[in-house]
Structure 1
């Protein structure tokens, strides 16, 4: 199981007791949001790196369009991966492992921190 799988099931188990019908949607949104924010951080980092190296790879508008397309792909990939039968099988495997003891507020703050780092890197360009 990957780190994102573990985070998904932590969110799923946490919100299943509170909002049972929306637990899967909330957990899928969180994992997708975290992956997209990490992708944005990497994109801004490599944009600055290539700018310092004087490499012209693609225009900014094409990069943003590519980012939006990848975000849509990530969301649908997570929706397919964590929906239905696969989620149930992985949930059983996850229940056998020890329960994660992360604070839910710290986990919600993690993508915000990544977006803050992205903003700092973007301003440095």
Structure 2
């Protein structure tokens, strides 16, 4: 199990008690949003880094198109991955670890902090 699986499970367990029918959708959206924000952070970092090194590898329009395509792929992959069997396997593995060890507000602030860091990278370079 990787970090995204653990975060998915914690979000899923938190919202399962409150919104049982929407818990899987919320957790899948969270993991997808987190992965896309990390992708954006890396993309901005490398774009600014390559710009400072005077390397012309890809135009801005092509980079944004690639980002949108990869984002769609990430949402589809997570929808397929966490839709059924994988979630049941995660549930079985995490049954012995019933209590949530992460604060839900800190989990939701993680992608927001990553987007803030992305904004700092955009302004700094």
Q: Output the TM-score relative to the length of structure 1.
A: 0.96
Task: List structure 1 segments (4+ residues) > 6 angstroms apart after TM superposition.
Answer: none
What per-residue deviation string (whole Å, max 9, x for no partner) do you get for residues 24-66 of structure 1? 0000000000000000000000001101111101100000000
Q: What RMSD, in angstroms, separates the aligned Cα atoms of the two structures? A: 1.0
* Structure 2 match to 1:34: 34
Q: CA deviation at 1:123?
A: 1.4
Cα shift readout 1:64-95 (whole Å, capped 9, x = no counterpart)? 00000000000111111101122111211122
Q: Is residue 15 of structure 1 aligned with residue 24 of structure 2? A: no
Alignment map for 1:84-95 (pairs within 5 Å) = 84-95=84-95
Q: Which runs of 5+ in 1 are unaligned?
A: none
Deviation (angstroms), 1:96: 2.8
Structure 1 Cα separation of the partners of residues 3 and 100 of structure 2: 11
In 1: Cα distance, 2:67 partner to 2:48 partner: 16
Q: How many residues align?
A: 125
The alpha-carbon deviation at position 97 of structure 1 amounts to: 3.8
Secondary structure of the 1:101 match is coil
For residue 98 of structure 1, report the CA deviation from its aligned partner.
5.8
State the secondary structure of the residue aligned to 1:55.
coil
Unaligned runs of 5+ in 2: none
Measure the CA separation in 1 of the matches of 2:105 and 2:53. 39
